[in-house]
Amino acid sequence: MRMVDVIEKKRNGKELTNEEIRFAVNGYTQGEIPDYQMSALAMAIFFQDMTTAERAELTMAMVESGDQIDLSAVEGIKVDKHSTGGVGDKTTIALAPLVAALGVPVAKMSGRGLGHTGGTIDKLESIPGFTVEISIDEFTNLVNKNKLAVVGQTGNLAPADKKLYALRDVTATVNSIPLIASSIMSKKIASGADAIVLDVKTGTGAFMKELDQAKELAEAMVGIGKSLGRNTMAIISDMNQPLGYTIGNALEVKEAIDLLYGRGPDDLRELCLRLGSQMVYFAGKAESIEDARKKLVEVIENGKARETLKTFIKAQNGDPSIVDEPEKLAKAKYLIEVQAKSDGFVAGIEADQIGTAAMLLGAGRATKDSEIDLAVGMELHKKIGDFVKAGESIATLHSNREDVEEIIERVRDAYRFSKEDIGAPTLIYDEIK
Ligand code: URA
């Protein structure tokens, strides 16, 4: 087989065979196919798209290029959740103990963040003592015992995807639905998921800015999951403003804990209940989505979800007392208010800008090797639809430095005001099953 023929076939809009897809992916991963030929194929896919069968094969070729986590020793149906990423997205931290409290095994392999704030692991590491440096054996034992464990991502998960993603980044081929969908799904499947619940974000702070793009991506991922025998569904949720009120690692952990006390922001709670109901249903722990939702509300109200969180934290060396006393989490030195300049209803909050402001405070990594300050970030006081008076605080920065004028301006500029109340935005636009 010759790579040039594979490129030409895709360029002409034909469907590639499984053998052709494997030939390209394996050859590229092993260094036998050069970057320029793989770039040409990526560009041909960008313009000509792929069928669901091709997307599924591409996904499996990337899965099989590296380690696959064997979770067969974990009892029950392992349901993973994935979010395409957003500002203030602390869903996993609340959701994992919530569903685990109902007996759903949550075997989560997570990464660190290269975004506005840390990833789930960074957030969890703001709990004193907490570690994700556990062996895979320990990880599966903990899931069997406590129904919940989190481990750091192995470096050899879908290496073909890693190499191809880096190439796409410099060849203007990141934004291709079949390539994004297979990239994300390859990592989920290599992590051992039996079923997958996806949270595809859309809006100013999301990877997919437009709703129809987000739907297309969700449909592509659900199509791949189902073709590969995994129960898969997606929720399309709003990212036209940050999720919840906090952005920053320790601050987000505190907000997630609040939710397990039955407090916490409405948007975060609703999203957790919607995603959680699907996870519980897929895991066979409820008869219907409605039944699953009822059970989730029960474990919030009877404290079982908080107990599950404590057991999980303790098992991974963390201090479980932070669940009852979240004020023990790291705190920044300075609290600095951001005041509104005029009256009006909040009509929009550029989530991207808020995320960048949090990163500039030190909550996120500018480069792979940057150190994160787990204590810093911000708390928003106003969200879309709220009325604000001139001089009123719209946000509090949690900072370890005082020279934050530029960041204050950035947060202020991220808010858009209007004379009329536009009401709260839609949180969940659609479900793809
Ligand atoms: N995230 C991924 O993991 N892959 C992509 O291609 C895009 C976003």
Q: Which of 80, 89, 122, 161 is flagged as catalytic?
A: 161
Dihedral, CA of residue 409, residue 410, residue 411 and residue 417, to nearest 10: 80
Is 116 assigned a catalytic role?
Answer: no
Q: Where are the alpha helices (DSSP H) in 134-176?
A: 136-146, 159-169
Q: What is the pLDDT of residue 422?
A: 86
Could you read off the pLDDT of 166-188 as tens digits, one per residue? 999 999 999 999 999 999 999 99
Q: What is the pLDDT of residue 264?
A: 84
Closest to 362 measured CA to CA, from 322, 402, 334, 400: 400
The answer to pTM > 0.90 is yes
Q: Which of 116, 163, 187, 230 is flagged as catalytic?
A: 187
Is 82 assigned a catalytic role?
Answer: yes
Is 161 assigned a catalytic role?
Answer: yes
Measured in Å, residue 414 CA sits from the centre of ligand 1 at 26
Query: Could you tell which of 89, 174, 186, 200 is best to mutate to test the pocket of ligand 1, judged by most ligand atoms within 8 Å of the CB?
Result: 174
303-318 burial, b for 16+ CB within 10 Å, e for fewer? ebbbbbbbbbbbbbeb
Measured in Å, residue 287 CA sits from the centre of ligand 1 at 34
Q: What is the pLDDT of residue 416?
A: 94
Q: How far is CA 220 from CA 118, 153, 214, in A?
A: 27, 24, 10
Q: What is the pLDDT of residue 117?
A: 77
Q: What share of the chain is helix, strand, coil (3-state, %, to 5)?
A: 45, 15, 40
Q: pLDDT tens digits, the chain, 433 residues: what are they?
A: 999 999 999 999 999 999 999 999 999 999 999 999 999 999 999 999 999 999 999 999 999 999 999 899 998 999 999 999 889 999 999 999 999 999 999 999 887 766 777 788 899 999 999 999 999 899 999 999 999 999 988 778 999 999 999 999 999 999 999 999 999 999 999 999 999 999 999 998 898 999 999 999 999 999 999 999 999 999 999 999 999 999 999 999 999 999 999 998 999 999 999 999 999 999 999 999 999 999 999 999 999 999 999 999 999 999 999 999 999 999 999 999 999 988 999 999 999 999 999 999 999 887 777 889 999 999 999 999 999 999 999 999 999 999 999 999 999 999 999 999 888 899 999 999 9
Measured in Å, residue 181 CA sits from the centre of ligand 1 at 7
CA–CA separation, 230 and 323 (whole Å):
34
User: How close are the terminal C-alpha atoms of the chain, in Å?
Assistant: 37
264-287 burial, b for 16+ CB within 10 Å, e for fewer? bbebbbebbbbbbbbbbbbbebbe
Could you read off the pLDDT of 68-112 as tens digits, one per residue? 998 999 989 999 999 998 899 999 999 999 999 999 999 998 877
